[in-house]
Structure 1
């Protein structure tokens, strides 16, 4: 097992055989000298040389360092594990034990190891090539001579006889080396174009993957907001249903009580009328005139209800009442209107009324830690900034605010309409605004609103608001009344508006300007208990 692991460590990743004359690139990866040389040759003219293993790039052709210890270990493995030697072309003359060939002689049609190569003929007709078993494609099929030239007109390799007396006589010919070098140049140009096309395709793939991630993230956010909105509407509708049904039940019970009371009164009256009717019927059944005439009770005025009393009883019946459908309708419609108003308030500001589902863009905005001053603390999620009495000892960079506790958002806006919300501390002092990236990072001109490159809403300890721009401050008539703000930016229209998200929503101020640079959200927080959260 250990031997196999060692063999793996000694295997060239290009030819997949044990290293032959290993060399090492500056990045630390090793290859056979011939293998890496061929790879670097193909990369020549592409603009950069890359390691086949780690893809480390260099503009200059990397220097190849001899790996002597690696070569010694590889040779030792070959000698001690002959059965594991890489498959290769054996020497034609080493009969007792196969020895890898170093070259093949096209004239002799034989492959030679290093030892036999030393005693081989050095004459010009003995052309040597890399070890190969395919000798037929190295010789002319017509004259059986070694191929030495390339016919440019017929695009084929030819021998001397083909050039002088054969069918290629008089054609433009080149040596094989010249022709192969020209072809290499063309191949490198093609390789360079293919490399550029592949890199462009890779960039497009990355862009599409990023777009897909953005769409997936946005879809998840929109789904969550829609679900929450519908769930909230459903709860409000259920509460409204209970309220309306309760009103209907109340009215039903009220009418029922009135009807019951009137029925009781009428039942008493029915008994009284029945008694009177009985008395009168007795008189009518008598035959004695004197008795009938002496029955004076029937002559009393109150014996029968007057027309006025009858009308009075009729009015009572009509005045019992019915369900107040108008009140029920008002309760229902006012409740529905309240729900609609609540949904409308989710849009926060009039300008953002067309962005109900995308109103909360704060999830896309993070604080740029590289701009944070030394006396501000930034949360791990890059959403909250708070004042700090302790020096955070951040490295000094050109983007960082040096003298004031400020930080900018990493995201900027250079077009379009955008809306986001922030939570702010009720106590302490803070500034919320927007600024160009070219704002000063040192001195008094670096404070948000104290220059022509930034606009801010400043809240003091006494809850007084000031609007800041170009070193000028405007006191607002409103005092701070809630801890949530909405900021709306219409870049093309040059409008930056601030709102207090209380009930009802209150417009604080709108700056107007012709914006000339991208705008970053900016935050200034005084040390102590001041904080702002996106």
Structure 2
């Protein structure tokens, strides 16, 4: 009983639940903040603000005062309570009996026994057992909700219908409004069910794609690891071979040097003996003895050039070259890198703007302040400083690399030959016939059909790779550094052959690498 009494003291008189952020009115009664605010909002139209508990009336909106201590007590009580979730009979004081109905007017819940007694005395609205009666009644008039105003999207009691606020509004019974809403909801369900099924199928499809990506990545990873393992083994073998060759040459040269040293030592010993003998003769006082001694052979003049003892660097370089070439060939073969995708591009002078200089080898386009005064040609760009490649790109894969200046503005990309040659639409990316990666004012972007997307390109990056898979409709840009990084991939269905396209401005230049 003490527990029930304490719970009642800590319960809001509006929602019948434990206080949540309790606030008090001037009369001293407490309510949940959200509950009393909702109640006061309901009373705003009448201009009368009444305490739901003591009915004290105010002409101005009642100020709310928060009670932190009561809030803490309620929160602690919530954490300790072990009550069952079912609604209990209000009248069964000595035992906990589950209620079967709740009377909206009496605000009581009853078991079967007390429900029979209740129904014999009054004819009230009965609901399924609930402890939240506040949402079932009008706080202002203390009457159950019976109608629904579709214009204000609000519930009304009988008294609310006659208020000035709702006069002339389309009002319907709650049951009718509920059924009408259910009909609308059923129609929505008919549309949502197929969409959900479609989403489910797409999720399954994406999960399958995710699995395939994982399988492909695992496969490529396995092949790369196996390849590097073979490369390591091959490198070890070639390393041993080259080191063995160096050791062989070293041994051979060392032996030759040793033989030469031994030969010179013998020669030096003979010379020392002759020198000693001559020095002895030179000290003799007996002329006859000096003259009788045979004159020693002074020896051959050693005019031979000193031999050179160098390692055969050529054979070592040749071995290294063949080793690297073999590894490169095996790598390309095993990873199926098709060198045929590399396209040798040249610039078409007839398309170059008159303030674009094209190098003699047709590989470099540079922005110039000097008019080149070229002949008029229908292919020539006249508004923007652009130039196209001679080669058409279609029907297969293409790859080329470029080097760009570290100053000025530049674009690299592709376009259809039917792209405009003058006016705003003739700029790369300013139409649906071109795709480009550009650098303007030190900001890198990808550009197509007037739409831009920012990219990050380090200021130190001067070399870029462009890969075009025409049939798959993919155009990819790569940062050629250490390591190589993917920058962006554009997708499209290409309908015309493409040309590599370049734009240079403010002293910029772009060079097609061999």
TM-score when scaled to structure 1? 0.38
TM-score when scaled to structure 2? 0.40
